Amino acid sequence: MSTRVLIVEDNPQNRYLLEFMLHSVGLTTLSASNGQLGLEVALSEQPDLILMDIQMPAMDGYETTRLLKQDPKTRDIPVIGVSSYAMASSRKQALEAGMVAYIEKPLIPETFLSQLEPFLP
């Protein structure tokens, strides 16, 4: 079975870019356009990895991650923050929410996939 990555991202162009890069190396993607949908997809589909945008409508990536980490069904799924917030405090807040890593946008295709490797099965 192929490794499945859930992309929680409200911007359609960013979601497309992430899907394109992940598909190029044979990974299967699931997607959600906001945090609430991301929670629902994570619970029902049990992906291997979650890429989480930070700033989204309705529920931001920090809150979504905290809720994922509180649920026994999803707490062990690694969540990587993917955001244009470049402040050190943003990275710290992401890790405190339960994310295992934080990747800043704009994404660099040459290095992006290697940043995910430690968290893929």
Q: Give me the chain's average pLDDT, please.
A: 94
Task: Quickly state the pLDDT bin for 43 (edges 50, 70, 90).
Answer: very high
Question: Residue 86: its pLDDT value, please?
Answer: 67
Class at the top of the CATH hierarchy for domain 4-116: alpha beta
pLDDT(12) > 80: yes
Domain ranges of the chain: 4-116
Q: For the chain, what is the HEC assignment?
A: CCCEEEEECCCHHHHHHHHHHHHCCCCEEEEECCHHHHHHHHHHHCCCEEEECCCCCCCCHHHHHHHHHHCCCCCCCCEEEEECCCCHHHHHHHHHHCCCEEEECCCCHHHHHHHHHHHCC
Tell me the per-residue pLDDT of 62-121, one tens digit each, with 9 for 90 and over.
999 999 999 999 999 999 999 887 677 888 999 999 999 999 988 888 899 999 999 999
User: Residue 110 has what pLDDT?
Assistant: 85
